[in-house]
Amino acid sequence: MGKPTGFKEFEREVRPYRNASIRLLDFKELYTEHEEPLLATQGSRCMDCGVPFCQSENGCPVHNLIPEWNDLVYQGRWREALDRLHKTNNFPEFTGRVCPAPCEGSCVLGITNPPVTIKNIECAIIDKGFESGWVKPNSPAPITGKTIAIVGSGPCGLAAADQLNKAGHKVTVYERADRLGGLLMYGIPNMKLEKNVVERRIDLMRKSGVSFETNSDIGKTIPPEALIEKNDAILLATGATVARDLEIKGRDAEGIFLAMEFLTKNTKSLLDSNHLDGNYISAEDKDVIVIGGGDTGTDCIGTSIRHGCRSLVNFELLPKPPKERAENNPWPLWPKIYRVDYGHAEASQKFGDDPRVYSVMSKEFLKDNDNKLTGIITVSVDDNLQEIPNTEKIWKADLVLLSLGFIQPEHYINEKLGITLDDRGNFLASKSDFRTSIPKVYAAADCRRGQDLVVRAINEGREAAREIDRDLMGFTELP
């Protein structure tokens, strides 16, 4: 519980980002170094709250033992804190950097005060674990002789592979890209998650016995039937990679890109050549409009600024959120409030103002005689998303990035297998056992439930691994 009176004595103090004026000049991680005395003080704010909602369904999806490791950090018992953290989370170095921290939204202290800095403490524990040499390759259980193929090396696929390897199964992870990590590698920019952090964990998994195959596109370069024939189980962890588009007049103009195409090419070029190869969509000297918010929209903002864009605007369809919880958004639900993320702060630093414009609906893309994008027409909408008369506006733009979320997985694997889909186009599989309509084939995370958080993908990977192990062995000891 930390210090009994800690939450009364100490204010919330988060680990700061590097100064915005400096960090926007590079693609290095945003974060400053951990300060152990500060973290111990923040751990002391964890209350003896009776029911820790931070690890409930509304809080942490992997049910981290948050009060336990908060207390251990307060006491300076970092190695034990790491052991507690790894009991529930295979990859805290990922969630400690990119998770929006629903645990903090459900912190009991947050009812009346700013919540405990759970995310900072989690990241510090695992970083100290690596620095101290405490994080070692897993020693798998006695080999079972069962073989399992996992399609997709994102957070779900990696978590499932890690768990199934611990159970003694032979696991091979197939990734269609040239590098491993899925969303973690190419979907999240380097400044938010440096790729050596991802590669470090994958290297540990290799040393633990997990096999990886890159440039292996199941359904295209490798028939899925072949995987089924030579394995005891297949887990589809392909993600929900079909992006929501904006099919309005002028969509065919040159200069309009899906956010993930923009981010993926940027990171690949950065890793391949530090952008010297030019194989990316550059925002340099361009008037950029990002349509859509969320983490991906923020990442587009931060990346465009680092390229050296001329101007930047971010359209939000919904109205500006309140600074405090609304009456219909009570604790312990995720607080839908106004936040300033790293990209917004960087835009304010460079251009003098928050880039977001609220209650804006895009109506038409404008283009010149050469089919090149020149701008966009918008209209303001009310709180019910109804257009407000006489509010049309023309915005100048020669690069538009669409960050409107994702709707379903790609179906070319399924075109070969014929898996039953749900009404949203996801692979139909129950959360109780993760089985699809095809024997030996399972599905988990975004391709099963739709677009969601990295931490929920890790949780579903762990749960799917448990059910696969149970099916193969008749029992399971996986959590």
Using CB atoms within 10 A of its CB, is residue 353 exposed (0-12), middle (13-18) or buried (19+)? exposed
Confidence of residue 57 (pLDDT cuts 50, 70, 90): confident
DSSP string covering 290-316, please? EE--HHHHHHHHHHHHHHT-SEEEEE-
End-to-end CA distance of the chain: 24
Quote the mean pLDDT of the chain: 96
Beta strand segments in 348-459, E: 356-357, 360-367, 373-380, 393-396, 399-402, 406-408, 441-443
What amino acid occupies position 436? T
Tell me, what DSSP letter sits at residue 439?
T
The proportion of the chain whose per-residue pLDDT surpasses 70, expressed as a percent, equals 100
Please choose, from the candidates 322, 89, 296, 477, the residue with its C-alpha nearest in 3D space to the C-alpha of residue 81: 89
Q: Domain coordinates of the chain in residue numbers?
A: 6-131, 147-241+407-473, 245-404
Q: Confidence class of residue 453 from pLDDT cuts 50, 70 and 90?
A: very high
Q: What is the mean pLDDT of residues 41-70?
A: 94
Amino acid letter for position 225: E
pTM, entire model: 0.96
DSSP-derived secondary structure for 14-30 = PPPBPPHHHHTTS-S-S
Instruction: Among 3.50.50.60, 2.60.130.10, 1.10.357.20, 3.30.460.40, name the CATH number for the domain at 245-404.
Output: 3.50.50.60
Question: Residue 265 pLDDT more than 70?
Answer: yes
Task: Taking residues 125-154, report their average pLDDT.
Answer: 94
Q: Which fold has domain 147-241+407-473?
A: FAD/NAD(P)-binding domain (3.50.50)
- Cβ-defined contacts of 475-479 (< 8 Å, 24+): 476/167, 477/167, 478/163, 478/166, 478/167, 479/87, 479/88
pLDDT above 90 for 58: no
pLDDT number for residue 1: 66
Q: What is the mean pLDDT of residues 43-71?
A: 93
pLDDT digits (tens, 9 = 90+) for 158-197: 999 999 999 999 999 999 999 999 999 999 999 999 999 9
Alpha-carbon gap, residue 427 to 425, rounded angstroms: 7
* Across 228-257, average pLDDT: 97
pLDDT tens per residue across span 319-354: 999 999 999 999 999 999 999 999 999 999 999 999
Q: In whole angstroms, what is the distance from residue 67 CA to residue 49 CA?
A: 9
Nearest-5° angle of CA 464, CA 198, CA 93? 75
User: Coil, helix or strand for 376?
Assistant: strand
Residue pLDDT, tens place only, 194-218: 999 999 999 999 999 999 999 999 9
245-404 and 147-241+407-473 share a CATH fold: yes
At residue 69, the 3 state secondary structure works out as: helix
Using alpha carbons, select from 446, 444, 440, 356 the residue that is nearest to residue 405: 446
CA–CA dist 391, 412 (Å, integer): 43
Query: How far apart (Å, rounded) are the C-alpha atoms in residues 55 and 102?
Result: 9
What's the one-letter identity of residue 412? Y
Tell me: pLDDT of 267 over 70.
yes
Residue 161, C-beta contacts closer than 8 angstroms, at least 6 positions apart: 150, 171, 173, 205, 210, 461, 465
Give the Å distances, CA to CA, from 354 to 280, 303, 357: 26, 16, 8
Given the structure tokens 């369809």, which residue do they identify? 317
User: Strands 233-236 and 147-151, how do they pair?
Assistant: parallel
CATH architecture of 6-131: Orthogonal Bundle (1.10)
- Confidence check: pLDDT of 259 > 90: yes
- C-alpha 449/C-alpha 451 separation (Å) is 7
The pLDDT value given to residue 308:
98
Q: How far apart are CA 194 and CA 97, in angstroms?
A: 10
Query: Is 70 exceeded by the pLDDT of residue 133?
Result: yes
Polymer length in residues for the chain: 479
